[in-house]
Structure 1
Amino acid sequence: MSYESRFTASPGYALGRLQRALDAVANSDDPQVRARARQKTAVWEAVIAGIASGQLEIGSRTPVADTPAWVTLEVAHGGFATGRYLAEAPLRDDELDRVRSLPATAPGTTDRERLNLWYLGDEGQATLLRALRTEQYRVDMPEESALLVVAWLLDRGHVEEALDLVAERPLMHRLRFTPHLAATATPSGAVVRLETVATVKAAIRGTRIPPEIARMRETLLVWHPLYDRLVALWCDTVDGDLPSLANTAEKADDQVVGGWPCRVWPADWAERRRALLADVETARIDGHAAAGRHPKATSPASFVP
């Protein structure tokens, strides 16, 4: 069994996300919320249909059948591919104008392929080189840089490498392999923009951490370390090997092997217990307990005698 085939996602998750989207469409009075929910509904319907038909193999490095690994896919929440290629987009107005200007005998089975093939010709390559030198282009998808790379390689005499890129011309009839050409150069990422101190201070003070992120940080930074200390306390009272579930053929799967806690008591155990309880109480006083499950009976303090 291959590594990839052992790990697949349950379609139940996709069904649950679809139901949430449908509920939002049915129950929300906000037109914008309903519009977003309809988009999510379409995405999850595509995921479920792809899984049911066998077109999608969720969990695989190449989840869409007959699709190279380098194709950028639309991915829904949780890492579910929908089967849609992000670089497969309708022709923009400027692209339509270019296609209309091509002769009727221009090669290609689709307008997208005819346009891509035009950019492989002399005039198209000159257009791409001019955009490269003036930086008057924008790349939103990795695929949109493909023919720019071809132009760059040919301009520098790397003919064989350029031919290797376009030898098979995969998905040339579907995907956009050219960038957005712009009238002005795209600013470099290294450009520095100045703002007044007051503007920067106002922006920083206006920043708010989403409640979900705050709870996650609190759990990772406050409560998980306390749980780790609790586990360490009990581990130090085990006589022999730490207990675990048996996983051998000779023993039942639910049989515990190893030592048991509360058999030995280190000299500093009571002091460490008091320190843990004090830190748990401090966390509660600081307001951390209000953000999650920790005020309940399953908190660290509840397991320390």
Structure 2
Amino acid sequence: MGYPAAELARAAETAGSHPDAQTRQRARERFARWSAVLRRIAGGSVSVGSRQPVADLPFWATPQVVRGGFATGEAVAGGPLRPYEAELARRAGVPAQRDALFAYHLTEAGLAELSVLLESGAYRVETPEEAALLTVAWLLRAGDETAAVGLVDELRPHAHRLRFTPAPDDAPAYGPEVVWRETAGAARERLARRKPNGRVAAMQEALTVWNPFADQLLELWLETARDGQVGARTPAGWSDRAAALVERYHRLAAAHPHCGKHRRPKENLAILRAATEEAVAGRPLSPRARGLLQHAVDSMVRRRGRPGSPEHAALRERQSADAAGPMLHTLARVVVNRLAVFPPGCGIRSVEAVTGPITPEEAAWSGVPAGARIAEPIRRVVRRALAGTVAELIAAGVVPSAEVLARLVPQIAATATAASYPDEALRSLTAATYRAFRNRRSLLLTNLEHQVRLDELPWVRAVAGHRSALAGTHASATSALRRLGELALDGFPATLLPNPLVRELVALDREAGGRLPWVEELATDSSRGPSRRSTPPRPGSPATCWPTASTRATTTSTTRRCRERTTYGVRRAGARPPLPASTRSAPSGRAPGRAGTGWRRTA
């Protein structure tokens, strides 16, 4: 319980002490999830290390998983009714409950709606369970009533809790090769959370408010100078002008709280302001205050020139231009408004269409000058939602690592995996199920158990008999496998491919009919099993324990040997074969077989 308890404590501390309200809210949500984890583990309704962690959910249901692979006891496809479910219940005249909606979808009217949705492809599968009833509709349309009835019987016990229909969606139909790192909706949410930068706001106040005010105070005291001695005389009307500046200072300080330069007593502005307040109050300056005032005036004139001089005017003009640029959070508001017209569930084809200069209409409501350019930090967020081929995204810098590439590959592998189904509607549904399944978070497993696999889902099993080896299916999968292997090796050389990417390559290899020896990196710290002990366990002690140092070392060396024998990518046609063992050696100081090491030819 150490790790969950530590995460619970961290969430509690953040929820109670963080200055940002949204961060505190997210921390409270994390606290609730970790509380559920600990409470249900203690109550026995959640099992740690099992592939069926929640006692009252089937193993194929997608559990809500928090950091570390711990299940909270809730289902991702559960929770309150979604808006589209509530609208359907109202339109169908049934109670706003999931079991009632499940029963409605099995009626003639409900199946007709599912068939229309299936044919149009205008739906968005966010969790694998949402494809279940669409699969039932397809099976009935295909005449496979036995499989449809069997699937309904397996789903019915969980119909009161799980969501088995997808949300309607009118996303544009991109080609199968087009992928994106983030959706337009995710980019919009990220930009909407951007807040004003306090340091930038302080800089703008210093340049546009306090520097000009300091110039006015400097001009005021230069009027009193005689032979370079400040305060030697008092011109007519000087006291009134000084009182007006003191009054203006208090108004500015109340209206512009970001910059604290004017409050620091050693700053020239603070020295001039304090001397002015003393003069307005009719109190003579002390020798120390007079010396500070003289030093401040001399240093300001020596550094920037007298106010109104050409060099001083040029400096202030440059500073005003620097401060005139819009702040990032105001630019983000404009881009958020532009992204609102794009479907939230997919990427965008053109970054320039979203990050062009500010139009006069946008300037009218945002306060940003017309023609202003969108800053690079905002463009970088939008670029993450760029839709294109993997090669295009790598070239654009959107895919900086093999881990990011692994998150994009399922969008391509889904199309290749679903290509073996002859019906177009079923291919689209299977591809959507594949993509949603790859978003499933991994559980913390022990005893070398494996995660739930796609072909273990009941609705995927139900249509497995309708697959056929179509002409070109193997060739398409082989082409995708080679292309992705080349992209991984060319884009991220000398990098151990992450397990998610290896799993996608395995799926493509299976569709291509290959038998390459793929091996994932073994997570030795989660392999809980019997360890070698010199003495038998004490009576009443558990039969298993965490691996000892010796078993971990043995497993690690086994993993290293597996890496040496593993094909992590597809060798390009015409590539140079590996060097014979007699003509290669490990670089000095590096052990052979380590990831990231290169081999050099020896004489």
Same fold (TM over 0.5): yes
Q: Normalization by structure 1: what TM-score?
A: 0.59
The aligned residue for residue 163 of structure 1 is 149
The aligned residue for residue 298 of structure 1 is none
The aligned residue for residue 85 of structure 1 is 75
Match runs of 1:17-36 below 5 Å: 17-36=7-26
The aligned residue for residue 60 of structure 1 is 50
Q: What is the Cα deviation at residue 67 of structure 1?
A: 1.7
Answer 1 or 2: higher relative contact order, Cα 8 Å, separation at least 6: 2
Structure 1 residues not aligned, in runs of 5+: 1-10, 210-216, 222-245, 255-271, 280-305
Return the index of the structure with the highest Cα Rg.
Answer: 2
Measured against aligned partners, the alpha-carbon deviations of 1:62-88 in whole angstroms (never above 9, x if no partner) come to 111122101111001000000011111
The aligned residue for residue 162 of structure 2 is 175
Q: Does the CA-based 8 Å contact 1:135-1:186 persist in structure 2?
A: no
Aligned length: 209
Query: Which structure is higher in helix share?
Result: 2
2:23 equivalent to 1:37:
no
Q: Does the CA-based 8 Å contact 1:87-1:175 persist in structure 2?
A: yes
Equivalent of residue 135 in structure 2, options 145, 149, 152? 149
For residues 162 and 51 of structure 1, do their structure 2 counterparts lie closer, same or farther at Cα, with a shift above 3 Å needed?
A: same
Q: Does the CA-based 8 Å contact 2:393-2:399 persist in structure 1?
A: no
Structure 2 residues not aligned, in runs of 5+: 179-347, 353-382, 384-391, 402-491, 497-531, 537-547, 550-584, 591-603
Measured against aligned partners, the alpha-carbon deviations of 1:9-57 in whole angstroms (never above 9, x if no partner) come to xx11100110111111223112222122111111100001001111111
Q: What is the Cα deviation at residue 196 of structure 1?
A: 8.8
Q: Does the CA-based 8 Å contact 1:25-1:37 persist in structure 2?
A: yes
Match runs of 1:67-216 below 5 Å: 67-103=57-93, 111-168=97-154, 169-182=156-169, 184=170, 187-188=173-174, 190=176, 192=178, 204=396
Q: Over aligned residue pairs, what C-alpha RMSD do you find?
A: 3.6
Q: What is the Cα deviation at residue 165 of structure 1?
A: 0.5
Q: Which amino acid aligns with 1:181?
A: P
Q: Which amino acid aligns with 1:73?
A: P
Q: Does the CA-based 8 Å contact 2:394-2:400 persist in structure 1?
A: no
For residues 100 and 203 of structure 1, do their structure 2 counterparts lie closer, same or farther at Cα, with a shift above 3 Å needed?
A: same
For residues 394 and 534 of structure 2, the distance between their equivalents in structure 1, rounded to whole angstroms, comes to 62
For residues 174 and 28 of structure 1, do their structure 2 counterparts lie closer, same or farther at Cα, with a shift above 3 Å needed?
A: same
Q: Which amino acid aligns with 1:163?
A: V
For residues 173 and 204 of structure 1, do their structure 2 counterparts lie closer, same or farther at Cα, with a shift above 3 Å needed?
A: same
Q: What is the Cα deviation at residue 248 of structure 1?
A: 4.3
Q: Does the CA-based 8 Å contact 1:146-1:177 persist in structure 2?
A: yes
Q: Does the CA-based 8 Å contact 1:25-1:34 persist in structure 2?
A: yes
Q: Which amino acid aligns with 2:98?
A: R
Deviates more, 1:72-81 or 1:110-119: 110-119
For residues 127 and 393 of structure 2, the distance between their equivalents in structure 1, rounded to whole angstroms, comes to 35
Q: Does the CA-based 8 Å contact 1:136-1:186 persist in structure 2?
A: no
Percent identical? 39
The aligned residue for residue 289 of structure 1 is none
Q: Does the CA-based 8 Å contact 1:150-1:165 persist in structure 2?
A: yes
Q: Does the CA-based 8 Å contact 1:72-1:85 persist in structure 2?
A: yes
